[in-house]
Amino acid sequence: GPWKTRPDTRAISRNWRRASSEAFRLASTSSATSAGASASASRPALQSTGSGDSSSRPWSVTAIEKVMVGQIHVLESMAQIGFLEFRDKLNPASGFQSMQFRELEFASGQKDERILNSFKEDEYAYERLKRRYEAPSLADAFWALLERSGFTVESHDERVAAIVKILSKPETHADLFIMQDLLIDHDENISLWRYHHVMMVERMLGMKRGTGGSDGVGYLMTTLTKKFFPEIWEARTHLKIEDRG
């Protein structure tokens, strides 16, 4: 295999130690809150230099997100008419207004000023999201980590090239290779959650308009291509066998 040296799993655990413990602490709260806490806690964890805890595993964050994907189907255990009755009581509220899910997006690196401004009438939510918007994201922390490791990551193309280099010789950058794969896991899990959410909504409601006035399933379908770390995904396209040198 490509592994000529054993990955420094202790270093990886140090990087994700705080993310894991925070994610477990909030595992009993709502799905979006748990995921948001995981992503947010991962940012300082990437910068942490503290000693590692051998019982802490970086994969706990993405493991929690995998549970989230399955949880959404609990709603499908309801009869459609019953789902419609309780949904009607939520009108005109909308999932678009979910502060926790927007925190997850902002903390991961998917920031949109228009979404931030849509919360201006809710002082608490706006101030909380504004802090997330202005703070470095998980994506920012990862690219800063690569820069500290000697990579040039100022532009989109440079970031793609850096990931291609890591993917080409994972044994040379073992910790970074595993870290970028964990970020892909995080991104993929949230994309899967979005997809399962769309399927659940269509199964229960068909093509009805959303409670907040959106196009319902039509709008949700437009969110499926969103990525937190587009450069990491794009690098796969440019990877070649001859890059191993």
Query: Among all chains, which residue has been given the structure tokens 């608490």?
Result: 124
Residue whose pair of structure tokens reads 């009108």 in the numeric block? 91
**Three-point CA angle 150, 156, 160, nearest 5°:** 60
Model pTM above 0.75:
no
The average confidence (pLDDT) of the chain is 76
Q: Which residue has the higher pLDDT, 198 or 231?
A: 231
Q: What is the pLDDT of residues 113-145, one digit of tens each?
A: 998 998 898 899 999 999 999 999 989 999 999
- Digit-coded pLDDT (tens) for 85-119: 877 777 656 666 678 888 989 998 999 999 899 88
Is 162 within 8 Å of 136 (Cβ atoms)? Answer: no
Q: Whole-angstrom Cα distance, residue 194 to residue 75? A: 15
237 has pLDDT over 90: yes
What pLDDT was estimated at residue 231?
A: 97
SS3 label, residue 122: coil
- pLDDT score at 89: 73
